Amino acid sequence: MYALLAICVSLLALVVLLRLRVRIGLAMTISAMLLAVLLRVMPGQMWGWLAVEWRDRPLTETTPYLFVSLTALLLLVNVVGEAMGQIGLSTRLVPAMHGLFRSRRVALAAIPLVMGLLPTPGGIMLSAPMVREAGDKIGVDRSRVAAINFFFRHQWEPVWPLFPATPLIVNMLGIAPASLVVHHAALAVTGMAAGVVFLLLTGIPPRRAEHMEARAGLGSHAKDLALVFWPILLTAVLYVKLHVPPAIGIFLAILGLLLLHRVSVRRWPGIFKAAREPDMVLLLFGALWFKLNLEAGGAVGDVVAFFQQMHMPPLLVVFALPFLVSFSTGVTTPTVAITYPFLMPFIRTGDHVQLGIETLAFSGVVFGLAISPIHLCLALSASYFKTPLTRIILRVLPAALCVVAAGLAMALLAP
C-alpha cells in the first residue's frame, strides 16, 4: 500500500508542476527524484540494480541503452524537420496533399495523418495552419477542425517506430517489432475508421463551386509527397524488417536527404543544431529514472500484490493503470516506462508474451492522451483554433472509445 501511495504522490507532484508551467522534462525528473526519496532508493541500490540489468538482460533492454537510443531518436527527428524546412520540402507538402485528394474530407484528415508520421514535440502545429485554412475555406466549425487535426495526427502512435514508445515496448518485452506492430494495428485502423465516422461524415458543409480544385500535375504532386516522406519510410522499413535501431535509421536517412539534395557541408552544423532540446533529454531521463526507481525499490511487486489482494479484475488493472497515468501526465513514453513494469505479470507468463493483453494496455495510454487536458497538443489546439478545450475533447471522445473497444477485443480474442 505504501508503494502505491508513493507513486500517487510522485505523479500528483508531476501534475502540479505541469500546471505551474514547469517544463515537462524538468517536471518528470523532479517527480522521479521524489519517488526515489519516498521509496528510499539509495544511490548504491540504484547502481546495484543497473549492474543486475547489465548482467542478466540483453543490452537492448538495459536502462542506459534505452536512454541513449531513445534520446538520439527523439532529437534526430527534430533534425529531419529542420533539414526538410531548409531544403524547401515542407512547403511543397500542402500543395501536394490538396492536389492528390479530390475529397475535401479526405484532404482534411490526410494533412494531419501524413504530418503525424514526423513526431516532433508540439508537432501538431505543423499541420494546424493547413487544416485551419482548409476548414475555414469550406466552412467547417472550428472545434470540429481542431478535433480532426488533433485526432488524426495521433493515429500512428501505436504502430510507428519513430515514436519512442514503440521501440521502448519492443525492448521491454523482448519481442520482434513486427509482432507489436501487427497487434497495435488494430488500434490504429480502428482509430482512423472511427475518426472518419464521427468527425468527417457529419459537420462538413455541402460542396460549393469555389471548393473545386485544379487537378493538373498529379504526377508532380505524388513526386513531392514521396520526396518529403522517403526518409521516414526508410527508417520504418529498416527497423521493422532488419531490426536496425530507429536512431541509426533516421541518422542514415538524414545523411541521404542532405546528400541527395546536395546541401553544402557548411550548412550541416546549422541543421543538426535542431537536436539541441535539453528538456526532451530530461524528459526521457526522468521517465527512465522513474521506471528504475520502481524496479530497484521493489514497488512493482508490492503494487501487483496489493491489486491481487483487492481482487481487481486483471483486465481492469491492465487498462486503468496506463489510462490514469497518461491522463494525468499527457505524455506517452513516460507512461509506458512508469506503468509497464507493473503490468509485466499480466502481459508475460514465462516465456510467452500475451500481446493481446499488451494491446489493451496501450489502448489505455491512447485513450488517456485523447482526453487529457494536460496533453500539450490539446492545449495548443484549443489556443490556435480559438475553441474551448472541452468541445474538442467531446468531439474526439466517441472515436477514442472505439479504440478502447478495439483494445478490449484484442485482449479477449488475440493470443
- Its domain, for residue 333, covers 2-413
CA distances from 75 to 80, 119, 272 (A): 9, 11, 9
Q: State the Cα–Cα distance between residues 65 and 208, nearest whole angstrom.
A: 55
- Say if CB 71 and CB 182 are below 8 A apart: no
pTM assigned to the model: 0.70
C-alpha cell at 6: 508513493
Q: State the Cα–Cα distance between residues 207 and 90, nearest whole angstrom.
A: 28
- Read off the pLDDT of each residue in 265-283 and give the average, rounded to a whole number: 82
Residue 236 identity (one-letter amino acid): A
- pLDDT bracket for residue 279 (50, 70, 90): confident
pLDDT value, residue 172: 87
- Read off the pLDDT of each residue in 85-99 and give the average, rounded to a whole number: 70
Q: State the Cα–Cα distance between residues 144 and 109, nearest whole angstrom.
A: 11
Q: What is the pLDDT of residues 148-183, one digit of tens each?
A: 999 998 999 999 887 888 888 998 888 888 899 999
Q: What is the pLDDT of residues 368-411, one digit of tens each?
A: 999 887 676 776 677 778 888 788 889 999 999 999 999 999 99
More confidently predicted of 306 and 167? 167
Beta bridge partners of 348: 353
pLDDT value, residue 211: 46
Q: State the Cα–Cα distance between residues 223 and 93, nearest whole angstrom.
A: 10
**Cα–Cα–Cα angle for 321, 15, 394, rounded to 5 degrees:** 70
Q: State the Cα–Cα distance between residues 371 and 215, nearest whole angstrom.
A: 38
> How many domains is the chain built from?
1
Residue 41: HSE in the Cβ half-sphere, 13 Å Cα cutoff: 25
- Say if CB 133 and CB 259 are below 8 A apart: no
Residue 282 identity (one-letter amino acid): L
C-alpha cell at 280: 526532451
CA distances from 391 to 154, 204, 326 (A): 18, 17, 20
pLDDT value, residue 300: 66
Q: Which of 10, 73, 5, 28 is nearest to 330 (CA)?
A: 28
Element (H, E) at 362: helix 355-371
- pLDDT bracket for residue 207 (50, 70, 90): low
- Other CB atoms within 10 Å distance of the CB of residue 56: 9
